[in-house]
Chain A
């Protein structure tokens, strides 16, 4: 168990392109840290630098307080789960899991005990004699996890471990990984490009863009108080809508219509900028006819023509096309490309209550929760209305939640380990008798 500290880490390849640029990150002992970003953002490179498979061009990497820049992977005592699992096809499941122990010259009886324990934890006991080729995707994934767990390493590193599984299995394994990590309490770094994994697994999430760290924070903080356009667009699905707007006091003039955000603080943050990008999440819209009077008071209503609707049962997506100035449209297109999506037209996506009766072609009244609106600088992408106090409060909340969860898990783990000790004794006498 150890904390991992990255200080001004840079990775430059032969052609001078910095795949990872000046990343500083502190991963606390026992923390579950997610590295997330679109493909090519350097998140895997960063992970491979931590584990030692890539050289660090400059900067300092500490694990448990020791600088390990030049330490060989095998001496870092980290366990890694690869994207394609990298199981040894010529070894049985047992020997695959036992491999790190064998290398460490662990005595045979301890190898047997620890592998059996791990197999039990991951429900692999029935498969110990099989070869990886004969296992299903989920089982292989568990073997890879077993190989990581069995070593009692200082930290776990996961490189998109679930991306080769189908959607259903992915969901199961996600909760499995989360449970396991909380139970073992081992520092974990987890690379993914999947929204759901990032939001649900991590204590904190680090968003990377083109090798540069954008924001680190609890999932909630990233969602509610993003620092810039990129994070705001990347976190959340469907993405946040960005509308160009001119500001007049507290009134915003957007392609969807004029509305008053009724917030002095936000209006002041705009300063002397004439044009801003207004960020509104799809779920912060609502069909105005379904909003009660008191709630209606706290927001604003705009009129817009709905182009297409998608009814999903639990909610209704409506698409509202709008005209944007050419330069803003180009900027938004670039952003959506960078986020691995390809939005062809400028349109707002709004998520409405499923009982809404809005249909395509309607001139619809949409209610906007103005308290959740963010304003971004169109040139730099900086979030002008980020509430630092709120962000800090969310951070503290996440820390507290984590602590509580850890305590509960530990208590639970102790309770179950008592019973499993008894099981073991039984197993011991049985083998002795046999």
Chain B
């Protein structure tokens, strides 16, 4: 029963969490509109003089624009390949009985728990030797391998929810296994595939560790790494405002996607948790 009191408590709690999470974002947004010299001199949440200068600076530096292209390209490719792989793997895990099924699932989980940083050193050496250092594939490969586990787990939960009969009906209706998969299972799992894609995209988009250590130039450096290379106009000036502007630019797509698809993401994350 929803009493008035518990409702009020809910509202207060929600507001608290809202402030807690929104405040840093708002701060970054405010900083991005301040004059570069204002930080540290004027103590105020709101900018004294609103300016678009930082955004102009950000978009005119090739450091940022090339990084933006790299980020978008690498994330999209990694997401696409990762989701296609994950769909096939998850389908097999959900539908087929084969030896080593448990092993694959626990292995995937182990990878997800593996500290990313420990791999950076070996990868750095390996990539330099085989020529993948500072290239798109050099980033895409580790992204896929670290995004796969989450995608596989999400998707196999989704596939498990689809009744077996769907597929059997399709087979009796004259479909090959592949046709049944493509025409019945994939459309039904579309929300799950979508969720997996969004989660994978976020993972790639937000990565910093690989981005900073496996790249050295504009050729492949993604935005989060590029932010670290921003410099002020002079050595006495901190590039804080420009970094904030760049941060806002890369955060916006994420926020927009989340707002648009939040219901699907929640559905995907909790799929299989309860029987529908």
Q: Which residues of A contact B (CB under 8 A)?
A: 51-53, 72-74, 77-80, 82, 84, 86, 88-90, 99-100, 103-104, 147, 151
Contact = CB atoms under 8 A, between A and B. Distances in A.
Given A84-B163, A88-B184, A53 B175 contact: no
B179 interface: yes
B25 to A, nearest CB: 37
Interface centre among B163, B165, B173 (most CB of A within 10 A): B173
B187 A80 contact: no
Contacts of B171: 52-53, 72-74
A74 B176 contact: yes
B188 interface: yes
B163 A103 contact: no
A103 B184 CA distance: 12
Interface of B: 163, 165-166, 168-176, 179, 183-184, 187-188, 190
Contacts of A74: 171-176
Contact of A84 (B165, B170, B174): B165
15 contacts: A52-B171, A53-B171, A73-B171, A74-B171, A79-B172, A84-B163, A84-B165, A86-B169, A88-B169, A88-B188, A89-B188, A90-B188, A99-B170, A104-B174, A151-B174
A116 to B, nearest CB: 19
Contacts of B179: 103
A100 B174 contact: yes
A92 to B, nearest CB: 13
Nearest to B190: A90
B174 A80 contact: no
Nearest to A157: B172
A101 to B, nearest CB: 9
Contacts, number: 56
A104 B174 CA distance: 7
Interface secondary structure of B, over-half rule: helix
Given A51-B172, A100-B173, A151-B173, 15 more contacts: A52-B171, A73-B171, A74-B171, A74-B176, A80-B169, A80-B172, A82-B165, A82-B168, A86-B168, A86-B169, A88-B188, A89-B188, A90-B188, A99-B183, A103-B173
A78 B175 CA distance: 12
Given A82-B165, A82-B168, A84-B165, A103 B174 contact: yes
Contacts of B187: 90
4 closest A-B pairs by CB: A86-B165, A86-B169, A100-B173, A103-B174
A70 to B, nearest CB: 15
A78 B169 CA distance: 11
Nearest to B162: A89
B267 to A, nearest CB: 15
Nearest to B176: A74
A70 B171 CA distance: 15
Contacts of B165: 82, 84, 86
Contacts of A79: 172-173
Contacts of A103: 173-175, 179, 183
Contacts of B170: 88, 99
Contacts of A51: 172
Nearest to A88: B184
A218 B89 CA distance: 50
